[in-house]
Homo-oligomer: A and B are copies of this chain.
Amino acid sequence: MSKYETGLGRDAANHQPLTPLLFMERSARVYPGTLAVVHGAVRRNYGELRDRCVKLAHALTKRGIGRGDTVAAVLPNIPEMLECHYGVPMAGAVLNTINTRLDAATIAYILDHGEAKALIVDREFMPAVRLALLQATVKPLIIEVDDPLAPEAARAETLGGVPYDALLAEGDASFAWPMPADEWDAITLNYTSGTTGKPKGVVYHHRGAHLLAVGNVLSAEMVKHPTYLWTLPMFHCNGWCFPWTVTAQAGVHVCLRAVRGADMWRLMAEEGVTNMCGAPIVMATLLTTPEPDKRALSKQVKFIVAGAPPPEAVLAAMQAAGFAVCHVYGLTECYGPSVVNEWHGEWNAKPTGEQAALMARQGVRYLALEGLDVMDPATMQPVPADGRTLGEVMMQGNVVMKGYLKDEAATGAAFKGGWFHTGDLAVKYPDGYIQLKDRSKDIIISGGENISSIEVEDALYKHPAVAVVAVVARPDEKWGETPCAFIELKPGATATAEELIAFAKQHMAGFKVPRHVVFAELPKTSTGKIQKHVLRSQAKET
């Protein structure tokens, strides 16, 4: 043993588990009187918020819920959801946030697979939860949230569970909650959307949650005391870890039950919002808000977008409206965003179109992600940085999940060769920035040639009448597959299929041009992602 390894071991004095839970204790200690959370008439400071979290932890502990137990939550972006991100792991338990738009069968599957011991539910979502509980095997303790801002009709719903506030009253704010035994301990459980097969349970640990939460501060250039508008669902990758990020910076969590234009503009103006996150659909909602409902912004709002690159026109409109847009990329498996389009100041001098093209790239690794590359999954060799050769996006680092719950085979496959296989296909440019070309399963193979559905979509987005477009593979006897475009037109705009096909021909090689164009409202997930698997089924019948 070297001299640097003798008598220099880990000790409580010099080694503590990394955890985001201490962020709450610190902000409550340093800034107890500072505003922490806003929800309608509710305004609580950090002292009050911290005490509610610890009471929740204590109440759960007293009811026998602890280390290794799962607490599920079906909640919108309300204060109780934020409290769960601290209170549940402060009890040693694992928070499983469930997408509020899921059907009863999927909720039942998740409750059973995660072995939920408790379920915290907002009354608006009780109809689906009630059905789910009838189908599920587990019998979790039901905790009911009666939010005054919930739809009036929903507030009569009950499953006869413990009211959330009554549960809190069972807890003591002086409870000395236990630190995680190890930073590798699970903190949350997030089920993938499961477009194919059963959803998989992605397990996050305290170490990764701490590191990504702090990484967000750097990527968002977030100064102290930000005011954060909760447009991104907390059930989605734990809101990209922002429940911990905003608290680390002693910022204000401005809650929002539903992403509605007028509400967002009002809260931005009234609360002085500085940061928000979301899919491009949130930007679209902001921009298409009727003028009388829009408000003047007193400061620039930083908008972090993911899910799809922001289209050029949207980008320009957002900038004109006073937003600074930052494009990030990630997956449930990497705690939300782990790749960021780091912007170079000199790019601001380029023409708008070029800027949009640069911003469409997903970018480079977060400081908190140790490795990012585009590789041939067969050889695990990086593709050339030529902006053309397709490969699979691979990640390596501390903000990659602990693994899939109770699914060693899937975990092993995802981590084959010591890298996390994202399933996303991309190219790498000479400057090292990556750009997604498709999901592995979204690529269209026509006459043996790969067609990136994103590339075809990008071209069609340039047509002035097109609002939203998604291109998927349609089975074809001769070519194997051909591209089929599903299109939403802008309000009041018109265009025919022939017109759009002719337009596409001017912008891409002939074999990439969609053979079919369908005008329809596109099916989207609650986070604004277009559900291509649904479109693929529809394309077969076209």
- Are A18 and B398 touching (Cβ within 8 A)? yes
- Are B4 and A185 touching (Cβ within 8 A)? yes
Q: Which B residues are CB-close (under 8 A) to A403?
A: 7-9, 14
- CB-CB under 8 A for A419 and B214, given A29-B432, A186-B4: no
- Are A16 and B218 touching (Cβ within 8 A)? no
- Are B396 and A16 touching (Cβ within 8 A)? yes
Which residues in window 407-440 of A have CB below 8 A to B? 407-408, 411, 414-415, 418-420, 431-432
Q: Which of B214, B342, B418 contacts A214 (CB 8 A)?
A: B214
Instruction: Please tell me which stretch of A75-83, A363-371, A484-492 contacts chain B, meaning at least 4 of its Cβ atoms lie within 8 angstroms of it.
Output: A363-371
- Are B223 and A411 touching (Cβ within 8 A)? no
Complex CA gap A344/B46 in Å reads 14
- CB-CB under 8 A for A26 and B364, given A14-B403, A217-B218: yes
Q: Pick 7 A–B contacts, CB within 8 A, sort by A.
A: A4-B203, A7-B408, A12-B396, A13-B415, A13-B419, A16-B370, A217-B218
Q: Would you call A406 an interface residue if the criterion is a C-beta within 8 Å of the partner chain's C-beta atoms?
A: yes
- CB-CB under 8 A for A13 and B217, given A3-B405, A367-B248: no
CB of A96 to closest CB in B, whole Å: 11
Among A13, A23, A370, A408, which residue has the most Cβ atoms of chain B within 10 A? A13
- Are B12 and A418 touching (Cβ within 8 A)? yes
Q: Which B residues are CB-close (under 8 A) to A370?
A: 16, 22
- Are B68 and A14 touching (Cβ within 8 A)? no
- Are B30 and A415 touching (Cβ within 8 A)? no
CB of A26 to closest CB in B, whole Å: 6
- Are A397 and B68 touching (Cβ within 8 A)? no
- CB-CB under 8 A for A2 and B68, given A29-B364, A398-B18: yes
* Inter-chain pairs besides A4-B405, A12-B419, A218-B249, 17 sampled, C-beta below 8 Å: A4-B185, A4-B186, A6-B406, A7-B406, A7-B408, A10-B184, A12-B415, A13-B395, A13-B414, A13-B415, A13-B419, A14-B208, A14-B398, A15-B398, A22-B370, A29-B432, A217-B217
- Are B420 and A13 touching (Cβ within 8 A)? yes
A interface, over-half SS: loop
Complex CA gap A22/B215 in Å reads 14
CB of A191 to closest CB in B, whole Å: 14
Q: Interface 1/0s, chain A 440-466, versus B by CB < 8 A?
A: 000000000000000000000000000
Complex CA gap A6/B15 in Å reads 24
- Are A214 and B203 touching (Cβ within 8 A)? no
Which residues in window 227-268 of A have CB below 8 A to B? 248-249
Q: Would you call A52 an interface residue if the criterion is a C-beta within 8 Å of the partner chain's C-beta atoms?
A: no
Q: Would you call A472 an interface residue if the criterion is a C-beta within 8 Å of the partner chain's C-beta atoms?
A: no
Q: Which B residues are CB-close (under 8 A) to A419?
A: 12-13
Q: Which B residues are CB-close (under 8 A) to A225?
A: 345
Q: Would you call A115 an interface residue if the criterion is a C-beta within 8 Å of the partner chain's C-beta atoms?
A: yes
Complex CA gap A364/B28 in Å reads 12
Ranked nearest first, the 5 interchain pairs of A and B with the lowest CB-CB distance are A2-B68, A12-B418, A7-B408, A13-B415, A4-B186
- Are A398 and B248 touching (Cβ within 8 A)? no
Q: Which B residues are CB-close (under 8 A) to A414?
A: 13
CB of A441 to closest CB in B, whole Å: 21
Q: Would you call A56 an interface residue if the criterion is a C-beta within 8 Å of the partner chain's C-beta atoms?
A: no
Find the B residue at minimum CB distance from A22. Answer: B370
Q: Would you call A516 an interface residue if the criterion is a C-beta within 8 Å of the partner chain's C-beta atoms?
A: no
CB of A408 to closest CB in B, whole Å: 4
- CB-CB under 8 A for A4 and B94, given A16-B398, A398-B16, A415-B13: yes
Q: Would you call A401 an interface residue if the criterion is a C-beta within 8 Å of the partner chain's C-beta atoms?
A: yes
Complex CA gap A497/B252 in Å reads 54
Complex CA gap A431/B214 in Å reads 25
Find the B residue at minimum CB distance from A115. Answer: B3
Q: Interface 1/0s, chain A 17-38, versus B by CB < 8 A?
A: 0100011001001111000000
Q: Which B residues are CB-close (under 8 A) to A415?
A: 11-14
Q: Would you call A224 an interface residue if the criterion is a C-beta within 8 Å of the partner chain's C-beta atoms?
A: yes
- CB-CB under 8 A for A400 and B367, given A68-B3, A223-B221, A405-B4: no
- Are B13 and A396 touching (Cβ within 8 A)? yes
Complex CA gap A407/B7 in Å reads 8
Q: Which B residues are CB-close (under 8 A) to A2?
A: 67-68
- Are B223 and A13 touching (Cβ within 8 A)? no
Complex CA gap A470/B342 in Å reads 49
Q: Would you call A536 an interface residue if the criterion is a C-beta within 8 Å of the partner chain's C-beta atoms?
A: no
Q: Would you call A507 an interface residue if the criterion is a C-beta within 8 Å of the partner chain's C-beta atoms?
A: no
Complex CA gap A214/B342 in Å reads 18
Which residues in window 21-76 of A have CB below 8 A to B? 22-23, 26, 29-32, 67-68
